[in-house]
C-alpha cells in the first residue's frame, strides 16, 4: 500500500467556469458505439466511470442537427427534445456519484454523410465527403452559418435542460465543421470566415461566445481543439497556427481540452507509440497562453506521471479515454492507494474498433466494458460463490486467466493448470512480437491478482490429460485450451485448404512463437486471417533479416487494423522494411522453394520464390481434452469449454468469454439464457 496522500493533488477540486469538478480526473469525450442507438447502455457505462471516481465524465460526439447525421454510427444525438429523456439518463447516472457531466456537441461538416436524413452536408467549402461516400458537402453561405449557430445554441439549451454541467465546442479530429473552418485545406473561402487565421477562427469564436452566453452561471464551456495535425508543414502545427488559435481565444472558453488530429494520431496504439503521455510535447504550451484550466490526454496511466504533469503546470486535469475504459476505477484505486490493482490500458484500440464497426464498445483488459447495462456487470464487484467450493481451470491463456481470477474473486478454491512454463498463453507469444509488449499487461494484471490470493493454486508445466483431470477430483472444470493455427492453409479464400507438396517448409504462427527459424531464403506469409497477426509476424521476420513476401486476398495489409486506426501505419511499416506485397492474391499452391499465387480478380497465376511459407489462415480449436472429459464416464458437476477453444477470436473475445463463464457459474440457467436476449428496442408509439 502506498501513501494515498502522495496523490492528494490529483484529488483537488478544480473550477470550470461556474461549476467545480470534484477532482482532476477527467474522462474526455470518447465514442462507445452506444449513444442514441443504445441509450441505457450509454448511461450505465458513463455512470460507471463516475462511480469509479472520474470527476468529469463526458459523452461522445453528439449530433446537433439532421445535417450532421452520422448514421449508421451509434453516436449521440440531440436533435430535439425527444432526445432529452435518454440524455437525462446519462446525466443522472453521472450525477449520482457527484461527478460533472460534459456534453460534446458536434456538427460534422464533410465528415457527415447524412445517410439516414439525406440532408445536404455542410462544410466550409465544396468538398468531398470525408468517409469515401461519392457525395459532397456544400459550402455554407451566411444563412447556413447563422443556422449552424442557432442549432448549436438550441442544442446547448437542450443540453442544459438534460442536466449537463459542461458544454463543448468541438474543433478536433477533422470531424467537425468548426475544425474544418480552421484549416486552409478544408477552407478556401474568400469571405470573413476564410483566409487569415483570425477569419478561420471566427466561427469557433462565435460558437464559443454563443455557448458562453447561454451557459452563464449554469455550466462551464469547454473547447476541444487539436493543436497539431501531425502533418508537419502540410497541416496545422502546435508551434505555428496551433498556438495562434490558442492565443486568439486564450481566456474565452472556461476549459481547454487539447489534443492532436486526426483520430488516428490522437488515439495511437502502443504498437506505434509505446510512450505514455506522448501528446505532451504538442500541448504543453497551452497553459502558458491561457489562465483557464487545461485537460490533455495520450494514454496517461501512471499516477506519478499524472502528478508530474499537474505539478509542472502542464495540465490541470488528467484527461483520459482509453485508460478510463480499461479501468473505470482508476481514480478510486489511486485515491485508495491500490495502484497495483489498476488494469492498465494496453493501447490496442479494440475499443475504437467496436465504435468503428458501429457496435458497443469492448475492451481487451476490461471485459465488463459495455456490459454495465446489458449484463449488469461491474468491473470491481462480482457475486460470491454458490454451493460449489472448487474449480479447475485448464489453460492459463487470456480466457483461463480471466476465468480463474473471477472464480477466485467469487471465493472458489481455484486450481489453474497449464502445460506451458509461464502463464499467459497466446498473450505471451503475441506480446513478444514487435510493438506488442504492452499487451503483456493482460496476463500480468491477472497473474498478479491470482498471486495475491490464498484460494488459488497455479500449476505451470502441467499438461493434463483427461485421466489426470479426473484424478484431481475437482467437480467443476473449465477448459480453456486455446486454438492452433492450421497447417493446411484452410481459410476464407481456400476453404478446402492450399495444395502443398511434400518437402515444402510450412510454418504456422505457433512455430514462430516456439522459435522456429524459417529456412534460408524468402519467407512467404499468407494472410487469410486478415486481422493483425500476419502483419506483425511480417514485421518480426523482416526485422530478423528475412526477405519477406506478404500475400493476402485482401486489398490492403491487415485490413481489420483499419478499425483500430492502424492500417496506414502497418502497411507503411512493411513497405519501409522492404516487405514485398502481393495484395488481392490467393495462395494456390506451395512446393519446395516456390509457391503459386493467383490474382483474386483474374485468377492469373504468378510464381513466387518461397523457401518457406508461413500460413496465417484459420485456427482449429483445441478440444481434445474437453472431448475426452465429455466422453468419459465421470459426470462432472460442471464442464465447460471457453475462449479460443470454444471459438477462436480476438484476445478481447477470449477474456470476455472467460469472464462470462466465471460470472455464469452456478447461476440459474434461465437467467443465463435471458441475458443473450437483452437489447434496446424501438418505441412503436412515440411520435415520429
Window 103 to 162, contacts with its own copies (CB under 8 A): 115-121, 126-128, 130, 132-138
Least Å distance, CB 599 to its own copies, is 7
Is residue 186 within the footprint of its own copies (CB under 8 A)? yes
Least Å distance, CB 157 to its own copies, is 16
Q: What 3-state class would DSSP assign to 590?
A: strand
Q: Show the cell assigned to 439.
A: 499487451
**Burial group, residue 190, by CB count within 10 angstroms (0-12, 13-18, 19+):** exposed
| Contact stretch for its own copies (CB under 8 A) within 76-84, 335-343, 405-413, 436-444 | 76-84
Q: How many residues appear in the chain?
A: 688
Is residue 86 within the footprint of its own copies (CB under 8 A)? yes
Considering only 19, 21, 31, 38, the residue that binds its own copies (CB under 8 A) is 38
Whether 467 is catalytic: no
Footprint of its own copies on residues 493-522 (CB under 8 A)?
A: 495-496
Q: Catalytic pick from 111, 174, 179, 445?
A: 174
Residue pointed to by grid coordinates 485545406? 185
Residues near 272 by Cβ (< 8 Å), separated by ≥ 6? 435, 566, 569
Residues near 586 by Cβ (< 8 Å), separated by ≥ 6? 493, 494, 528, 551, 553, 597, 598, 600
Whether 174 is catalytic: yes
Least Å distance, CB 576 to its own copies, is 6
Q: Catalytic pick from 7, 26, 30, 31?
A: 31
Least Å distance, CB 625 to its own copies, is 16
Residues near 14 by Cβ (< 8 Å), separated by ≥ 6? 20, 21, 23, 24, 55, 293, 316, 317
Is residue 37 within the footprint of its own copies (CB under 8 A)? yes
Least Å distance, CB 192 to its own copies, is 18
Sign of CA dihedral 332, 334, 338, 344: positive
Least Å distance, CB 331 to its own copies, is 28
Is residue 621 within the footprint of its own copies (CB under 8 A)? yes
Is residue 560 within the footprint of its own copies (CB under 8 A)? yes
| 72, 204, 687, 688 from 684: Cα distances, Å | 20, 39, 9, 9
Whether 568 is catalytic: no
Is residue 18 within the footprint of its own copies (CB under 8 A)? no
Closer residue to its own copies, CB minimum distance, 66 or 499: 66
Closer residue to its own copies, CB minimum distance, 249 or 579: 579
Beta bridge partners of 500: 590
DSSP string, 620-649: EE--HHHHHHHHSS---SEEEE-GGGTS--
Footprint of its own copies on residues 87-106 (CB under 8 A)?
A: 89
Least Å distance, CB 357 to its own copies, is 6
Least Å distance, CB 509 to its own copies, is 13
Q: Show the cell assigned to 294.
A: 487545461
Q: 412 near 389, Cβ under 8 Å? A: yes
Q: Catalytic pick from 7, 86, 170, 412?
A: 170
Least Å distance, CB 548 to its own copies, is 16
DSSP string, 395-445: --SHHHHHHHHHHHHHT-EEEEE-SSSSTTTHHHHHHTSTT-GGGGHHHHH
| Contact stretch for its own copies (CB under 8 A) within 30-38, 156-164, 320-328, 412-420 | 30-38
Upstream peptide bond of 262 is cis (omega within 30 degrees of 0): yes
Is residue 637 within the footprint of its own copies (CB under 8 A)? no
CB atoms within 10 A of CB 344: 20
Q: Show the cell assigned to 7.
A: 496523490
Closer residue to its own copies, CB minimum distance, 154 or 336: 154
Footprint of its own copies on residues 302-361 (CB under 8 A)?
A: 354, 357-360
Residue pointed to by grid coordinates 497539431? 228
Helices assigned H by DSSP within 52-173: 84-95, 142-161
Upstream peptide bond of 72 is cis (omega within 30 degrees of 0): yes
Footprint of its own copies on residues 187-226 (CB under 8 A)?
A: 188
Closer residue to its own copies, CB minimum distance, 316 or 618: 618
Footprint of its own copies on residues 566-605 (CB under 8 A)?
A: 568, 571-572, 575-576, 583-584, 599-602, 604
| Contact stretch for its own copies (CB under 8 A) within 12-20, 378-386, 390-398, 643-651 | 643-651
Closer residue to its own copies, CB minimum distance, 324 or 617: 617
Closer residue to its own copies, CB minimum distance, 17 or 39: 39
Q: What are phi and psi of 87, to 5 degrees?
A: -70, -35
Closer residue to its own copies, CB minimum distance, 153 or 248: 153
> Which residues participate in catalysis according to the annotation?
31, 170, 174, 266
Amino acid at each position: 500500500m502506498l501513501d494515498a496522500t502522495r496523490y492528494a493533488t490529483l484529488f483537488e477540486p478544480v473550477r470550470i467556469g461556474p461549476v467545480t469538478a470534484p477532482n482532476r480526473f477527467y474522462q474526455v469525450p470518447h465514442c462507445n458505439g452506444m449513444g442514441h442507438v443504445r441509450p441505457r447502455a450509454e448511461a450505465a457505462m458513463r455512470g460507471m466511470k463516475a462511480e469509479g471516481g472520474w470527476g468529469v465524465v463526458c459523452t461522445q460526439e453528439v449530433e446537433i442537427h439532421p445535417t450532421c447525421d452520422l448514421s449508421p454510427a451509434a453516436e449521440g444525438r440531440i436533435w430535439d427534445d425527444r432526445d432529452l429523456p435518454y440524455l437525462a439518463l446519462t446525466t443522472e447516472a453521472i450525477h449520482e456519484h457527484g461527478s460533472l457531466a460534459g456534453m460534446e456537441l458536434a456538427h460534422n461538416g464533410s465528415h457527415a454523410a447524412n445517410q439516414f436524413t439525406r440532408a445536404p452536408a455542410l462544410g466550409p467549402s465544396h468538398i468531398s465527403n470525408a468517409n469515401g461516400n461519392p457525395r459532397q458537402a456544400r459550402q455554407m453561405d451566411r444563412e447556413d452559418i447563422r443556422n449552424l449557430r442557432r442549432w448549436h445554441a438550441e442544442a446547448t439549451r437542450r443540453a442544459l435542460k438534460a442536466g449537463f454541467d459542461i458544454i463543448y465546442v468541438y474543433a478536433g479530429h477533422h470531424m467537425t465543421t468548426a475544425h474544418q473552418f480552421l484549416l486552409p485545406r478544408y477552407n478556401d473561402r474568400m469571405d470573413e470566415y476564410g483566409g487569415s487565421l483570425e477569419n478561420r477562427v471566427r466561427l469557433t469564436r462565435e460558437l464559443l461566445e454563443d455557448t458562453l452566453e447561454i451557459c452563464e452561471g449554469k455550466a462551464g464551456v469547454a473547447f476541444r481543439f487539436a493543436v497539431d495535425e501531425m502533418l508537419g508543414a502540410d497541416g496545422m502545427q502546435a508551434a505555428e497556427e496551433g498556438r495562434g488559435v490558442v492565443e486568439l481565444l486564450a481566456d474565452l472558453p472556461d476549459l481547454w481540452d487539447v489534443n492532436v488530429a486526426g483520430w488516428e494520431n490522437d488515439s495511437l496504439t502502443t504498437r506505434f507509440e509505446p510512450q505514455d503521455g506522448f501528446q505532451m510535447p504538442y500541448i504543453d504550451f497551452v497553459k502558458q497562453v491561457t489562465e483557464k484550466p487545461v485537460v490533455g490526454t495520450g494514454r496517461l496511466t501512471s499516477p506519478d506521471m499524472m502528478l508530474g504533469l499537474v505539478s509542472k503546470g502542464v495540465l490541470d486535469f488528467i484527461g483520459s479515454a482509453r485508460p478510463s475504459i480499461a479501468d473505470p476505477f482508476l481514480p478510486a484505486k489511486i485515491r485508495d492507494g491500490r495502484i497495483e490493482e489498476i488494469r492498465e490500458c494496453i493501447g490496442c484500440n479494440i475499443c475504437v474498433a467496436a465504435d468503428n464497426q458501429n457496435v458497443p464498445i469492448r475492451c481487451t483488459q476490461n471485459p465488463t466494458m459495455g456490459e454495465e447495462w446489458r449484463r449488469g456487470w461491474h468491473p470491481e464487484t462480482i457475486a460470491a460463490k454458490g454451493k460449489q467450493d472448487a474449480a479447475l481451470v485448464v489453460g492459463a491463456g487470456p480466457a483461463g486467466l480471466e476465468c480463474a481470477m473471477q472464480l477466485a474473486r467469487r471465493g472458489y478454491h481455484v486450481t489453474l493448470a497449464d502445460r506451458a512454463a509461464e502463464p499467459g498463453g497466446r498473450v505471451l507469444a503475441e506480446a513478444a512480437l514487435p510493438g506488442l509488449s504492452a499487451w503483456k499487461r493482460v496476463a500480468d494484471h491477472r497473474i498478479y491478482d491470482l498471486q495475491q490470493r490464498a484460494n488459488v493454486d497455479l500449476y505451470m508445466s502441467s499438461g493434463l490429460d483427461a485421466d489426470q483431470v479426473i484424478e484431481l477430483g475437482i467437480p467443476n472444470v473449465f477448459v480453456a485450451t486455446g486454438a492452433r493455427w492450421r497447417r493446411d492453409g484452410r481459410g476464407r479464400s481456400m476453404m478446402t485448404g492450399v495444395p502443398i507438396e511434400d518437402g515444402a517448409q510450412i510454418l504456422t504462427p505457433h512455430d514462430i512463437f516456439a522459435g522456429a527459424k524459417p529456412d534460408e531464403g524468402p519467407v512467404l506469409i499468407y494472410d487469410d486471417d486478415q486481422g493483425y497477426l500476419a502483419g506483425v509476424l511480417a514485421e518480426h521476420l523482416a526485422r530478423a533479416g528475412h526477405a519477406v513476401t506478404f500475400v493476402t486476398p485482401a486489398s490492403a495489409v491487415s485490413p481489420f487494423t483499419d478499425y483500430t486506426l492502424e492500417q496506414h501505419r502497418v502497411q507503411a511499416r512493411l513497405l519501409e522494411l522492404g516487405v514485398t506485397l502481393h495484395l488481392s492474391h490467393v495462395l494456390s499452391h506451395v512446393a519446395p522453394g516456390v509457391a503459386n499465387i493467383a490474382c483474386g480478380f483474374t485468377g492469373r497465376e504468378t510464381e513466387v520464390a518461397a523457401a518457406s511459407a508461413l500460413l496465417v489462415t484459420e485456427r482449429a480449436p483445441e478440444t481434445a481434452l474437453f472431448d475426452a472429459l465429455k466422453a468419459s464416464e465421470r459426470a462432472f458437476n460442471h464442464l465447460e469449454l471457453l475462449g479460443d477453444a470454444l471459438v477462436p477470436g480476438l484476445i478481447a473475445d477470449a477474456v470476455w468469454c472467460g469472464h462470462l463463464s466465471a460470472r455464469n457459474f452456478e447461476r440459474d440457467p434461465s437467467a443465463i439464457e435471458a441475458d443473450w436476449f437483452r437489447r434496446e428496442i424501438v418505441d412503436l408509439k412515440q411520435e415520429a
